[in-house]
Structure 1
């Protein structure tokens, strides 16, 4: 089985793709996988580091408003499609899977024009532009949230599979990394993180709460993001470096941290939510308001309305409210337990297997068009 996987721009598109490739290799060790991304996207670092063959095409995204830049984007799309066709022919792909991001556009489109079976995977509750466009050409549309199905016109194509990243997290029982990070392995642990680059409002709320944090029974792993790290360290030093707070700019092995944590305060990206529901980890979610169609808030409402998380809008967030939410969840084991169970109920622990099943289902002889 030869599979091309494409997607990029953010970890939310990349990590599900890697989880899918890992599941394909697990089920069929003789399978060959090729990842097509862009040379400037996060995938150009993450995918080769994972030991997966990686090739690139050049593409950029459409501006939602009228812009001369869109003319260049159309030209790049057409050129990218031609390049993708060459790579698909050369690799002799049996199936092409797109996980979103601009790069998936020309690759999946090229595969459909060659008659190669295609699948797209949508992580969010509201699909992105690329996947909406590709849904017209893809043979199957896999979605993480059942609510996303309504945005795709041909319902017979759609399958609710969950996010493949959930399978990877749910099937792993990593060693506790807390001692190496300077944390206790017996205290309840709150992880606060705003993504790889951090989130200023979350940082500000936690810094505001620092004077009260030192008196809490819980410990805090505070992942600031590389952009904000130096400033946060400066502010924490002014507050006297509470001994129950450990600060890191970035953590490579987040699944291990999440597995051993008791609570997370974070944004509401789809892949993050797949990870925490796979583990049943209670959460305080502060959705980013700066994303397309406000999809993070809609993602977060899926958890909050089912009792798995507390949703706080950025505009309402402050240090006092943040600590109130944390205390509410950790002080009462019944509250924590109810959120834990509610979170697990929303998980798709076999998501990767579900998508692989779609891949195998499309592997039928099919005449290719030139």
Structure 2
């Protein structure tokens, strides 16, 4: 089969795209990717040898734009639609298009509908995004972990998050994570707690984002803490020199107070090191934490479209499998109160139950659903 995977812009959408690519490639499908030159699409897929072809179009987000910027984004999307249709026509015998959403997906997904190519959609969030609401009636299957109508309600997660999973029994290492772009509120929260965390004999693993790396590093150094920097982030150090900085691979940084990184391709291994996370509630991160058995305090990004991060986190909180705190209510006591509730038997139970919310067979199930649908409809 020949499949076009489209979507991205943010790490959450792209993680799902990569997970589907992993499964489709394993099944012998020829895979193409159509994304955007903006966002992180190129970082994820430009060098991926599993893709026979990659296309990156000029697109940007529309939903949160206003005035001239909104008109500019819509114009870009219209031009990209023309380009996407041209690509789909040129690439003959495409069996289906798989959209994972995000502004990168719009041109190719609409192009598939206009050309009569079967469209399958995966919606990551509890609140359906505007693009997917428009396209849902045209999708042959609409996958969602939150809708009872979905033929598979497990989230598509890369295999490595399962292989690195473990059941937590106590808390020694804390992960502060604002996503691939970082989150200033979570960064400041970690800095405010850093000295207390050290006094309690705990270690910090902190994904601060590339833009905030220098500031956060300097703040930690001002606190007289010993910092470990992942070797893959050495380019962010610039002219900063300090005897309190240790540079190395993940396994070499077990003797520092803080392991700091702007972005890392070793997130499954970092998850395995940690016992509790303080993070945003983007869907992919949330479900990857579940697969890994890592309990979390979720701090939803307050400006996410449709407030979808709040509803993602609420889904787990209502099951007793996570903690939820609005950014405006994020004070130091929130962390200590959450950890106080996680006695050994409680954290073990939550860690085990989180893993039950995921399935290592999810991607295979979804792929089988797609193939069966294509055969049954003789599309």
Shorter-chain TM-score bucket reads: 0.7 to 0.9
State the shift of 1:170 in Å. 4.3
Query: What is the match of residue 177 of structure 1?
Result: none
Query: What is the match of residue 12 of structure 1?
Result: 12
Give the SS at the match of 2:103: coil
Q: 1:66 to 1:317 in 2, by over 3 A?
A: closer
Query: What is the match of residue 131 of structure 2?
Result: 130
Contact 1:81 1:106 in 2 (8 A): yes
Give the SS at the match of 2:97: strand
State the shift of 1:341 in Å. 2.4
Q: 1:145 to 1:348 in 2, by over 3 A?
A: farther
Distance (Å, rounded) in 2 between the aligned partners of 1:60 and 1:235? 33
Superposition pairs of residues 340-351 of structure 1, within 5 angstroms: 340-351=351-362
Distance (Å, rounded) in 2 between the aligned partners of 1:57 and 1:204? 35
Query: What is the match of residue 162 of structure 1?
Result: 154
Superposition pairs of residues 21-40 of structure 1, within 5 angstroms: 21-26=21-26, 28-29=27-28, 31-40=29-38
Distance (Å, rounded) in 2 between the aligned partners of 1:223 and 1:62? 27
Query: What is the match of residue 249 of structure 2?
Result: none
Q: Which runs of 5+ in 1 are unaligned?
A: 150-154, 175-185
Contact 1:116 1:366 in 2 (8 A): no
Q: TM-score, normalised by structure 1?
A: 0.84
Q: 1:269 to 1:90 in 2, by over 3 A?
A: same
Contact 2:6 2:105 in 1 (8 A): yes
Superposition pairs of residues 256-275 of structure 1, within 5 angstroms: 256-275=269-288
Contact 1:96 1:108 in 2 (8 A): yes
Superposition pairs of residues 1-370 of structure 1, within 5 angstroms: 1-26=1-26, 28-29=27-28, 31-51=29-49, 52=51, 53-63=53-63, 67-92=67-92, 93-146=94-147, 158-165=150-157, 167-173=158-164, 188-241=172-225, 243-329=256-342, 332-364=343-375
Contact 2:176 2:207 in 1 (8 A): yes
State the shift of 1:75 in Å. 4.3
The superposition leaves residues 79-113 of structure 1 with CA deviations (integer Å, 9 ceiling, x where unpaired) of 33332222112222111011001221221221122
Contact 1:4 1:33 in 2 (8 A): yes
Q: 1:221 to 1:133 in 2, by over 3 A?
A: same
Q: Matched residue pairs, number?
A: 344
Q: 1:318 to 1:18 in 2, by over 3 A?
A: same
Contact 1:223 1:247 in 2 (8 A): yes
Give the SS at the match of 1:363: helix
Decide which moves more: 59-68 or 17-26.
59-68
Q: 1:187 to 1:109 in 2, by over 3 A?
A: closer
Distance (Å, rounded) in 1 between the aligned partners of 2:203 and 2:77? 49
Distance (Å, rounded) in 2 between the aligned partners of 1:210 and 1:322? 12
